Chain A
């Protein structure tokens, strides 16, 4: 641990505040990082982590406070200035041009004359040195998500940064790829590079980081040494209270099949999309089935086919409660008893500028809310009020616009709206993505209750922990194909991680390229 007191800190942040019109994103934040230190910045969504990193990287400017870079005060003008200083950042959402090669993409960030051949050599050098294999001549759209992240990291490393910022870097990686990333980061730290690691995944922080700074509501609420904490104590620092525990009953056998997918094959219309190949799956009444996988392996396509947003050509490919439903649109499938919670809340699961009452009508209108083609607003209002009360949605009432709700509360509202329709089949995509820890466990508990009432629940998630927590059975999606299913109790993170790279027993060898994983 390079924490000799004589050393100048690499970066000191003193009393930084950033106030947006509607929210105080950072409130008097202090942070110090030494050379060679891996420091976690820990906090729930909306705690102000990303804003703080954007300030350090010069994307936005603080309203108050001071930044000391290697001992001298600086005002980081913009990202180019930050890179000049020696600060590199790997964003959560990649900023690569899909139609350019790796080397061309990297060249865009390198100042000076363009020398693709020389650059390619340097890329290969760095990728060899840090164990980040990637071919500089390949086009980015053909790369897996893990490979794309490597390109982003290599792009940063080319500038010889002395501080590297990573924003939620593991959300798109398999457990195995996460481990490789950690090795690289440790090697960098041992060479004196400081690393700021933003995450809300407590186990990763424990494994990797020397120190941690916890943010809550824009304020620093604590510092800790992760190796001396447990996930539970860190969670308390992060959310200010203990995590609730779950009640999980035993699955029952022999119930009827509510959702059957049978030989579903769909060619994606998006040239960079994933084709679904011969997908088959059954979800029975009273069980929760999870679909694990690295994002971009066909989840989007599969969800749209199941929900009816993108009907499929053969009606027998999808059965809802025994009815062939492949060619039905979303509304007709709902009439059969299927409800659906999409990944995007604003703009898909809810209309941002409409009130909660109006957003109830979106999917629940069959519950006597329309008569003679006219809306019965009272019925919709009652439903919305019930939903707000039963699902503890914090908002200004049923007349509030959907976009005025926080992500977690809107998600509770949407999940509530679908559950209150008493579905026979409920399909959820990323049910707790971007939701704070408290709301996430509430939603998971609701799913378990629904299961006990006999609903067939299908959850598609990239969070393995979540799937292991609530699912009875797991399948894995990779490159548009589905693995065999396994009872959650008979498998583990290791096995599912291997499957996530497309290598389950009996899997056909991939035809053209590697699956979309590292």
Chain B
């Protein structure tokens, strides 16, 4: 008896959807092992990490709050990923979007207009698009790899944020803390459920999911992106513009990330600081892949990723583990997903 690893005659549809679940299971199992090795009870660890965060209304609301930027970024990225456009700079686009929207809030600090928040959202989208346009232009003009350029722009964006909150935009009454003044009421998202922090940003994320689903599955442009992603030569044969694919893939991702940035600063953060995003733009890539680049899947994987963030906070509080434990779980999830995905195209057989 021995094991044989062989290619399937055709990719398994079942495994395509089972693979993320398998990855989650393996992530949880190895997480438990990790807790054990760190001298904690695995059962206790599981409870603290995965159950405690969502045991009351406030916890569930926090889950949706954290999921909002993740879902927004992931939907935008999925549009590009499907077209083989590898924008991995959503984090930077999120920050520049936040700066554009936040700059508007600071400039119109005294206005009473209802239009401020919508204008901030639009500005955020444009800011994110601007930051995504740079790698798009470099790719279409010089054929520069967008993976590298978009990633490098993340660090530039972080430094710009840092410079602004340490310098020109620093709150004059803020005891020299590197942050802007708090936004006024007209520049913050309305709260949906009293006593929680979940806000109208969630509706924007849900709207983005629906729009993303229609674009990917029903529109001709979405079809062209899919063709470009799966078979570049077929796209050229059909006469679909490869440049347009790059531009749309990058700009949609940038716009969504920019909106996510505004949702954060006008929501839970309420000002611009150096810590607008705990890596949402990067985690969103995992969300997009675990969700199979499909809006319905992204909804659930966004919630899962939000749970990992919350669980990390709980583990820090109750298990005295560092916050980076949630990054470990993110890494495990992506790692196991990539492993499990091999079984979409391959299978193991027992041979006599």
Q: Interface of A with B (CB < 8 Å)? A: 21-22, 307-309, 329-334, 340, 342, 344, 346-354, 358, 361-363, 365, 370, 373-375, 401, 403-404
What are the residues of chain A within 8 A of B231 when measuring CB–CB?
Answer: 346-348, 351-352
Q: How far in angstroms is the closest Cβ of chain B from A409? A: 16
- CB contacts under 8 Å to A, within B209-235, are 218-221, 223, 226-227, 230-231, 233-234
Q: Interface of B with A (CB < 8 Å)? A: 6-11, 218-221, 223, 226-227, 230-231, 233-234, 236-241
Nearest A residue (CB) for B347: A21
A354 touches B237 (CB 8 A): no
**Residue among B223, B234, B236 with the highest chain A CB neighbour number at 10 A:** B234
A-B complex: 6 closest residue pairs judged by Cβ atoms: A331-B239, A330-B239, A22-B9, A348-B233, A351-B231, A329-B239
Bound complex: CA of A365 vs CA of B240, how far in Å? 12
Further 9 A-B residue pairs, CB within 8 A, beyond A361-B220, A370-B220, A375-B218: A331-B239, A349-B234, A349-B237, A353-B230, A354-B226, A361-B223, A373-B220, A374-B219, A401-B10
Q: How far in angstroms is the closest Cβ of chain B from A170? A: 28
Bound complex: CA of A373 vs CA of B238, how far in Å? 17
Nearest A residue (CB) for B226: A354
Cβ-neighbour of B233 out of A329, A344, A375, A401 (below 8 A): A344
B238 touches A363 (CB 8 A): yes
A21 touches B6 (CB 8 A): yes
Nearest B residue (CB) for A347: B231
Nearest B residue (CB) for A310: B236
Q: How far in angstroms is the closest Cβ of chain A from B62? A: 38
A329 touches B219 (CB 8 A): no
B9 touches A21 (CB 8 A): yes
A334 touches B227 (CB 8 A): no
A309 touches B234 (CB 8 A): no
Q: How far in angstroms is the closest Cβ of chain B from A320? A: 13
Bound complex: CA of A44 vs CA of B231, how far in Å? 28
A373 and B8 in contact, given A333-B239, A363-B238 (Cβ under 8 angstroms): no
Bound complex: CA of A363 vs CA of B10, how far in Å? 26
Bound complex: CA of A358 vs CA of B10, how far in Å? 18
B221 touches A404 (CB 8 A): no
B230 touches A352 (CB 8 A): yes
What are the residues of chain A within 8 A of B230 when measuring CB–CB?
Answer: 351-354
Nearest A residue (CB) for B10: A404
A330 and B238 in contact, given A348-B233, A373-B219 (Cβ under 8 angstroms): yes
Nearest A residue (CB) for B238: A362
Bound complex: CA of A361 vs CA of B237, how far in Å? 12
**Residue among B7, B226, B236 with the highest chain A CB neighbour number at 10 A:** B236
What are the residues of chain B within 8 A of A330 when measuring CB–CB?
Answer: 236-239
Q: How far in angstroms is the closest Cβ of chain B from A161? A: 32
A-B contact pairs, 13 of them (CB 8 A): A21-B6, A21-B7, A307-B237, A308-B239, A309-B239, A331-B239, A350-B234, A351-B226, A351-B234, A362-B237, A373-B219, A373-B220, A374-B219
What are the residues of chain A within 8 A of B220 when measuring CB–CB?
Answer: 361, 365, 370, 373-375
A342 touches B9 (CB 8 A): no
What are the residues of chain B within 8 A of A332 when measuring CB–CB?
Answer: 239
Cβ-neighbour of B223 out of A21, A347, A363, A375 (below 8 A): A375
Q: How far in angstroms is the closest Cβ of chain A from B327? A: 33
What are the residues of chain B within 8 A of A370 when measuring CB–CB?
Answer: 220
Bound complex: CA of A365 vs CA of B231, how far in Å? 18
Q: How far in angstroms is the closest Cβ of chain B from A38? A: 36
Nearest B residue (CB) for A22: B9
**Residue among B8, B218, B223 with the highest chain A CB neighbour number at 10 A:** B223
Q: How far in angstroms is the closest Cβ of chain A from B221? A: 6
What are the residues of chain B within 8 A of A333 when measuring CB–CB?
Answer: 239
Q: How far in angstroms is the closest Cβ of chain B from A123? A: 38
Nearest A residue (CB) for B217: A375
Q: How far in angstroms is the closest Cβ of chain A from B72? A: 23
What are the residues of chain A within 8 A of B237 when measuring CB–CB?
Answer: 307, 309, 330, 340, 342, 348-349, 362-363
Cβ-neighbour of A309 out of B10, B218, B236 (below 8 A): B236
Q: How far in angstroms is the closest Cβ of chain A from B145? A: 19
Q: How far in angstroms is the closest Cβ of chain A from B120? A: 29
Bound complex: CA of A21 vs CA of B349, how far in Å? 11
What are the residues of chain B within 8 A of A362 when measuring CB–CB?
Answer: 227, 234, 237-238
Cβ-neighbour of B241 out of A329, A344, A350 (below 8 A): A329
Nearest A residue (CB) for B218: A374
A347 touches B233 (CB 8 A): yes
Bound complex: CA of A358 vs CA of B221, how far in Å? 13
Cβ-neighbour of A358 out of B223, B233, B236 (below 8 A): B223
A334 and B239 in contact, given A354-B226, A361-B223 (Cβ under 8 angstroms): yes
What are the residues of chain B within 8 A of A374 when measuring CB–CB?
Answer: 218-220
Nearest A residue (CB) for B214: A374
B227 touches A354 (CB 8 A): yes
What are the residues of chain B within 8 A of A403 when measuring CB–CB?
Answer: 10
Bound complex: CA of A338 vs CA of B298, how far in Å? 41
Q: How far in angstroms is the closest Cβ of chain A from B232? A: 8
B223 touches A348 (CB 8 A): no
Nearest B residue (CB) for A369: B220
Bound complex: CA of A347 vs CA of B7, how far in Å? 20
Bound complex: CA of A346 vs CA of B232, how far in Å? 11
Bound complex: CA of A332 vs CA of B241, how far in Å? 11
What are the residues of chain B within 8 A of A353 when measuring CB–CB?
Answer: 11, 230
Bound complex: CA of A305 vs CA of B200, how far in Å? 53
Bound complex: CA of A375 vs CA of B223, how far in Å? 9
Q: How far in angstroms is the closest Cβ of chain B from A328? A: 8
Bound complex: CA of A332 vs CA of B240, how far in Å? 10
Bound complex: CA of A333 vs CA of B237, how far in Å? 11
Bound complex: CA of A334 vs CA of B231, how far in Å? 20
What are the residues of chain A within 8 A of B227 when measuring CB–CB?
Answer: 351, 354, 362
Q: How far in angstroms is the closest Cβ of chain B from A333? A: 7
B233 touches A331 (CB 8 A): no
Q: How far in angstroms is the closest Cβ of chain A from B215? A: 10
**Residue among B223, B231, B239 with the highest chain A CB neighbour number at 10 A:** B239
Bound complex: CA of A353 vs CA of B11, how far in Å? 10
Nearest A residue (CB) for B227: A351
What are the residues of chain B within 8 A of A309 when measuring CB–CB?
Answer: 236-237, 239
What are the residues of chain A within 8 A of B11 when measuring CB–CB?
Answer: 353
Bound complex: CA of A403 vs CA of B241, how far in Å? 24
Bound complex: CA of A344 vs CA of B234, how far in Å? 10
**Residue among B6, B8, B223, B238 with the highest chain A CB neighbour number at 10 A:** B238
Bound complex: CA of A428 vs CA of B233, how far in Å? 16
Nearest B residue (CB) for A346: B231
Bound complex: CA of A401 vs CA of B13, how far in Å? 12
Bound complex: CA of A363 vs CA of B231, how far in Å? 14
B226 touches A21 (CB 8 A): no
Q: How far in angstroms is the closest Cβ of chain A from B278? A: 36
Nearest B residue (CB) for A307: B237
Bound complex: CA of A351 vs CA of B223, how far in Å? 11
Q: How far in angstroms is the closest Cβ of chain B from A281? A: 21
Bound complex: CA of A404 vs CA of B223, how far in Å? 20
Bound complex: CA of A5 vs CA of B111, how far in Å? 106
**Residue among B8, B220, B241 with the highest chain A CB neighbour number at 10 A:** B220
